[in-house]
Amino acid sequence: MKLKTMDISATASASSIVFDALRKAIIEGQLEEGEPLRQDEIARLFNTSRIPVREAISRLEEQGLVKTQRYKGAVVAGLSPRETAEIFDLRALVEPEIIRNAVPLMSKELLADAREKCAAFSSATDPMAYGDLNRDFHETLYSASDLKFFQEIADNAIDRVERQIRAQLVMSNGMERAGREHFAILEACEKGDADLASNLTREHIHGAKASLLKHLPEA
């Protein structure tokens, strides 16, 4: 199992640490679809008991990143093309409203930070960094919003498809297009045009969905 060994035996929040480590490994593709999550092995890697491991796996299952299979136990969950499309459609409903709400609340400091994140994404050359840089840019803009429940839904939805987003950017050579679209969204935010930022975000998500579904058989 591709997890970094960690001693958390004396840590009060052992369950949260295991959860964060497993979640990161899943969304980054270090733990692949269908890979079993053996509680004894994970507990040994983290030098803890099975109780925090079981709690962490239960939280991951609630978020849809893990599922329980008969005879196998907990395994990393996958997504069918239909499920993937549904999650992108959900994002296209939720994220445009988040950014529409966020634009009037954005500070100059936040916009400057977002511009740096946008430039970092456009200049990236490491495919393994694409997903994190993409997410950093969007979440920086969304952080100004006070629609906290919407943001929780968006975060969970992005978790479910982050592996696919990275694959889409690589397989479709989508970095250049995504970079242009990021700059357009950012410029709308800098101009204070919430409706334009919302519409561009919706188009950006639908475009990523179409590109991913086109290339999904190659994944």
pLDDT in tens, 88-122: 999 999 999 999 999 999 999 999 999 999 999 99
pLDDT tens readout for residues 199-211: 999 999 999 999 8
Contact criterion met (CB below 8 Å) for 60 and 19: yes
Q: For residue 20, how many other CB atoms are within 10 A of its CB?
A: 12
Asked if 116 and 67 sit in the same domain, the reply is: no
Contact criterion met (CB below 8 Å) for 189 and 79: no
The two beta strands, 66-69 and 73-76, are antiparallel
Q: What is the pLDDT of residue 125?
A: 85
Asked if 179 and 116 sit in the same domain, the reply is: yes
Task: Select from 76, 98, 130 the last residue of a domain.
Answer: 76
CATH of the domain at 163: 1.20.120.530
Asked if 98 and 185 sit in the same domain, the reply is: yes
Asked if 92 and 120 sit in the same domain, the reply is: yes
Asked if 102 and 120 sit in the same domain, the reply is: yes
Task: Select from 76, 92, 124 the last residue of a domain.
Answer: 76
Residue span of the structural domain in which 131 resides: 81-214
Is residue 114 situated within a structural domain?
yes
pLDDT tens readout for residues 43-100: 999 998 999 999 999 989 887 889 888 878 899 888 888 999 999 999 999 999 999 9
Tokens of residue 114, six digits: 């977002």
pLDDT tens readout for residues 3-43: 665 655 545 588 999 998 998 888 777 888 889 999 999 99
CATH of the domain at 43: 1.10.10.10
Asked if 36 and 22 sit in the same domain, the reply is: yes
Kindly report whether the global pTM for this prediction surpasses the value 0.85.
no
